[in-house]
Amino acid sequence: MCRRHRKINLVFLFLVLFFCVPGRSDATHGGSVVISSSSIPKSFNPVVAKETSTTFITGFIFEGLTATDGITQQVKPNLAISWNIDSTGKIWTFYLRKDVYWNDGIQFTARDVKFTFDRLIFNPDIPTSSRDVLSIDGKPIKVEVVEKFAVRFYLPERFAPFLRLMGQEILPEHKYKQIVDRKAFSFSMGLDSKPEDIVGTGPFMLEDFRPGEWVILKKNKRYWKKDSQGNSLPYIDRIIILTIPDQNLALLKFKKGELDMISLRPQDYLLLMKDKPADVKIFNVGPSLGSEFLVFNQNLDSSIAEYKKQWFRNVKFRWAVSCAIDRQTIIDNIFAGLGHPLYGPVNESVPEFYNNRIRKFHYDLRKAEMYLAEAGFKKGSDGLLYDRDGNQVSFSLITNSNNSQRIEQANLIRTDLEKLGMKVNFLPVDFNSLVTRINSTRDWEAVLLGLTGSVDPHFGKNVWVTSGHLHLWNPGSPSSVYSWEKEIDSIFQQAAMIFEPEKRKQLYDRWQEVFCENQPMIFTATSDVIYAVKDKFGNLKPTVYGGLFHNIEEIYILPIESGSSKARKKIGK
């Protein structure tokens, strides 16, 4: 064998190793997994429907050019083998796999990618939030087919998060073009579809469903990924997703053995530990990406009292509040001790961006009182707090009434702040009214809310930058803006355009420092992500970001003693 051939072979080997899933020699094919979903899947259309009940299922059926690794959180190639960026940084070319077929047998090509972007995402007739995420400064991305298996994107600006965004699901042109031409796509792929209407490249495909009861996914025999021995993936034959809106009922079913896996709330964890079935494994994978926080209305144009505005705009007031909140008690009471305190906008579950050197306002009542004194607040003889003009420090705190955990948290915070002499009027408000007050009328003083999180800080931009529509504490009014907010604006603008990860990290680290120094949002705590799983699976690697199923194609069922590895289960009774 001559040298050139050996080199090619080595490259080939490297590629094969890099892209194939390390398979285990004892991984068996077959079997089903039964899981539950608390909300009813509303649709199978990944473009139009973005709520978790839908994306949970479409995540098994559709794929993007890239994927975010569930463990490392790095972006890795998926439907695209490789890519390059031109010297301007605005033109990306992706080279696609040539061995991918849609689950109805047609081959996947660059035309499908162009179709997805031009005719679906950037189609004005189709209401989709993907458009927002993929538009940079409101400008769309131009897509061009270069060759059968190569596609080129023309971005209006350099955009670092773009690679991660290429996890966007690709849909087949041959299947959906006619529907789009008829302007019926927004209402297609819904619960009235037939399984063969849902065509993707992912490891699973739709087999059967009964709306409000279950969804059954069966393995996609044409799935392109193979394990290291060349065996087809996924190993599992079927995924059965039962709709069980009541979490208590789901736990009951799990205990009875009707479900294979369940995500546990803190109270569920305690209940389960009391009489844990022998063959159940518990995974506590760390703090969830969501966050809970307290915000004060710092907008000078709002309708609240002027003196209150002055309190909220005083950074030492906010420091004092942050120090006075007993985060551990919140964790103990609301998350049964299974949680982590939060001090900033990025969670330690995102190591790529987490800055541990932020200023943390640990629980310290003495410090809180000191900050208040420095800000001119004094406790009166009645034990209540007064500002330097003699106004009693009293304000209203609202949160949404349909979240009992948040209500409990608000009560705990109220008690904490009362120790400083503040009078907090807590009012649970119907969710819709809450949103109206925060977004439209802006008549609120303090609010306790939560957000789900993401890996790349850029995706939460609308919260952090002054022009964002969720910039809760200081929306849109130029006179209220602080200089540090302007600094954050500039950080986000720059960081979006820088590709070097270390430089980006530096910028976002600075953002976190500035943010935590000024405490516009006072973060409290987040719960841990806990899963309970029947001990019958191999290759199970749950993480906070990836959940239980980020590597679904390589999960397999351990062989049972009784023999047949293709055992099919009858569920129910």
CB of 442 to other proteins, least distance (A): 13
Which residue number, 157 or 418, has a Cβ lying nearer to other proteins?
157
Which residue number, 36 or 355, has a Cβ lying nearer to other proteins?
36
Query: Which residues are near other proteins by CB under 8 A?
Result: 40, 42-43, 45, 48-51, 124, 127-129, 131-133, 186-187, 190-192, 210-214, 216, 240, 242-246, 249, 252-253, 256, 430-433, 435-436, 439, 449, 451, 454, 459-463, 468-470, 568, 570-573
CB of 45 to other proteins, least distance (A): 6
* 506 touches 357 (CB < 8 A): no
Tell me, letter by letter, the H, E, C secondary structure of 9-67. Answer: HHHHHHHHHHHCECCCCCCCCCCEEEEEECCCCCECCCCCCCCHHHHHHHHHHCCCCEE
Which residue number, 40 or 91, has a Cβ lying nearer to other proteins?
40
CB of 232 to other proteins, least distance (A): 22
Which residue number, 3 or 570, has a Cβ lying nearer to other proteins?
570
Report the distance separating Cα 417 and Cα 372, nearest Å. Answer: 12
**Strand, helix or coil at 270?**
helix
Which residue number, 93 or 247, has a Cβ lying nearer to other proteins?
247
Q: Please list the residues that pair with 286 across neighbouring strands.
A: 529
Q: If we measure between CA atoms, which residue out of 35, 39, 52 comes closest to residue 217?
A: 35
Kindly list the distances between the CA atom of residue 283 and the CA atoms of 85, 240, 390, 399, 546, in Å, as whole numbers in the listed order.
40, 21, 53, 31, 13
* 526 touches 541 (CB < 8 A): no
Which residue number, 52 or 356, has a Cβ lying nearer to other proteins?
52
Cβ neighbors of 72 (< 8 A, separation 6 or more) are: none
Report the distance separating Cα 282 and Cα 272, nearest Å. Answer: 10
CB of 497 to other proteins, least distance (A): 19
Q: Which two tokens stand for residue 542?
A: 């749950």
Helices 315-324 and 306-313 sit at what angle, rounded to 10 degrees?
Answer: 70
CB of 134 to other proteins, least distance (A): 10
CB of 156 to other proteins, least distance (A): 16
Report the distance separating Cα 217 and Cα 485, nearest Å. Answer: 47
Which residue number, 131 or 225, has a Cβ lying nearer to other proteins?
131
Give the distance between the most distant pair of CA atoms in the chain.
93
**Strand, helix or coil at 379?**
strand
CB of 155 to other proteins, least distance (A): 18
Which residue number, 15 or 435, has a Cβ lying nearer to other proteins?
435
Q: What is the per-residue DSSP string for 277-340?
A: -TTEEEEEEEE-S-EEEEEE---TTSSS-HHHHHHHH-HHHHHHHHHH--HHHHHHHHSTT-EE
CB of 435 to other proteins, least distance (A): 4
Report the distance separating Cα 39 and Cα 435, nearest Å. Answer: 22
CB of 493 to other proteins, least distance (A): 16
Cβ neighbors of 311 (< 8 A, separation 6 or more) are: 296, 317, 387, 393, 395
What are the backbone angles phi and psi of residue 385, rounded to the nearest 5°?
A: -90, 140
Q: Strands 75-77 and 66-68: what pairing?
A: antiparallel
Which residue number, 222 or 437, has a Cβ lying nearer to other proteins?
437
* 203 touches 60 (CB < 8 A): yes
Report the distance separating Cα 573 and Cα 375, nearest Å. Answer: 66
What are the backbone angles phi and psi of residue 224, rounded to the nearest 5°?
A: -75, -30
Which residue number, 206 or 420, has a Cβ lying nearer to other proteins?
206
Which residue number, 255 or 414, has a Cβ lying nearer to other proteins?
255
CB of 428 to other proteins, least distance (A): 15
CB of 492 to other proteins, least distance (A): 12
Cβ neighbors of 58 (< 8 A, separation 6 or more) are: 44, 45, 46, 169, 200
Q: Is the dihedral of CA 111, 204, 122, 156 positive or negative?
A: negative
Report the distance separating Cα 245 and Cα 482, nearest Å. Answer: 45
Which residue number, 165 or 375, has a Cβ lying nearer to other proteins?
165
Q: If we measure between CA atoms, which residue out of 19, 13, 137, 22 comes closest to residue 76?
A: 19
Q: Which two tokens stand for residue 281?
A: 């494994």
Which residue number, 9 or 248, has a Cβ lying nearer to other proteins?
248
CB of 463 to other proteins, least distance (A): 5
CB of 218 to other proteins, least distance (A): 11
**For 428, how many CA atoms within 13 A lie in the half-sphere containing its CB?**
12
* 155 touches 166 (CB < 8 A): no
CB of 216 to other proteins, least distance (A): 7
Report the distance separating Cα 544 and Cα 129, nearest Å. Answer: 24
Which residue number, 22 or 245, has a Cβ lying nearer to other proteins?
245
